[in-house]
């Protein structure tokens, strides 16, 4: 059996996520305007995404099953309907918002 030796460049190329740069930019854009006061940040997000479409970390689990995440996206399944979709989130204070069906 022949053994293949990977170089560091090979490993880096294999571990490259083609969406990483775009996702990093989105994370920065989403978190830049975030307010440190949780109540103010929720109000800001609800003004954009609508009341009832913003969830805290505790609240997200009431409505959705979290399947996976890749910032700034979280893949979810609606617990009532079983529909798959995704939400986005801001880091601090942590809020999830903008549910979209897949």
Closest-CA residue to 71 (of 46, 53, 96): 96
> Is residue 63 within 8 Å of 57, Cβ to Cβ?
no
Question: From CA 12, how far away is CA 92, in angstroms rounded?
Answer: 30
- Where do the structural domains in the chain lie, given as residue ranges? 19-101
Question: From CA 42, how far away is CA 3, in angstroms rounded?
Answer: 54
Return the beta strands (E) in 1-102 as ranges: 54-56, 64-70, 73-78, 84-90, 95-101
**Cα→Cα distances 99→64, 68, 74, 84, Å:** 10, 14, 10, 10
More confident residue, 67 or 19: 67
Is pLDDT at 1 greater than 70 in this prediction? no
Closest-CA residue to 93 (of 51, 27, 40): 40
Rounded mean pLDDT, 32-61: 93
Is pLDDT at 55 greater than 90 in this prediction? yes
Give residue-wise pLDDT tens across range 81-97: 999 999 999 998 999 99
């Amino acid at each position: 059996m022949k053994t293949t030796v990977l170089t560091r460049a090979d490993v880096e190329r294999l571990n490259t996520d083609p969406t990483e740069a775009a996702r990093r930019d989105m994370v920065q854009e989403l978190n830049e305007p975030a307010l440190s006061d949780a109540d103010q940040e929720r109000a800001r997000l609800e003004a954009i995404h609508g009341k009832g479409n913003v969830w805290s970390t505790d609240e997200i689990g009431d409505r959705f099953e979290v399947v996976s995440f890749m910032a700034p996206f979280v893949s979810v399944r609606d617990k009532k309907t079983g529909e798959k979709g995704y939400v986005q989130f801001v880091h601090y204070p942590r809020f999830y918002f903008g549910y979209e069906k897949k």
